[in-house]
A and B are shown apart, each in its own frame.
Chain A
Amino acid sequence: EAQVTQNPRYLITVTGKKLTVTCSQNMNHEYMSWYRQDPGLGLRQIYYSMNVEVTDKGDVPEGYKVSRKEKRNFPLILESPSPNQTSLYFCASSGDRSHNYGYTFGSGTRLTVV
């Protein structure tokens, strides 16, 4: 089944403790992206990647890092999480260069930073 898989689904952590949210897609898509979803703000793009070793900042990149060492994986790294990073995170991928087919989204990771 074609899908984007995120792990974990739920995570509670403490301020300052480094964490990684993994994202993997099995569709050989070139384009991958991370979003955060917050009430009243919709989805905001954190980082995206056009291909292996090619990443770029979205609208809200501060406090986050990403890497794209393999085509299928695009982990999101929070080096020193803070409570304002408590949110619902989505990974998405697209195999169409024009994105006319839109994204395939993962099921989300709900992160709480205390």
Chain B
Amino acid sequence: GNSVTQMEGPVTLSEEAFLTINCTYTATGYPSLFWYVQYPGEGLQLLLKATKADDKGSNKGFEATYRKETTSFHLEKGSVQVSDSAVYFCALRTGNQFYFGTGTSLTVIP
């Protein structure tokens, strides 16, 4: 079946540290891949996406590359800020269904 596995949190980093949140997926066919971010008390917001193999999605300094050979879509940012503290969800879409990972909580301390 279809599923998304992302690294468990919580993750705590100092400001300006490098961030990686791992995400791997299992899917039939050729899914589209997404990262969503959820700030406290809010709904999820689309952060970035990639629709085919080797695509790189990027937004607000975050990047993720669609790796078909390793079925991965790891989220990276070179220098995190306190304002990046949130929960991050990896997701895939296949057909009319979305599948979400369990979320990774990130806290950035000054």
Contacts and interface: CB of A to CB of B under 8 A. Distances in A.
Given A102-B34, A102-B46, A106-B43, A42 B101 contact: yes
A43 B96 contact: no
Interface residues of B, number: 22
B89 interface: yes
A56 B96 CA distance: 10
Contacts of A98: 32, 51
Interface in B72-96: 89, 91, 93, 96
Q: Lowest 10 CB-CB distances: which A-B pairs, in order?
A: A105-B43, A42-B102, A102-B46, A43-B100, A105-B44, A42-B100, A107-B43, A99-B93, A106-B43, A100-B51
Contacts of A103: 44, 46, 98
Interface string B4-16: 1000000000000
Contacts of A44: 100
B45 interface: yes
Nearest to A50: B96
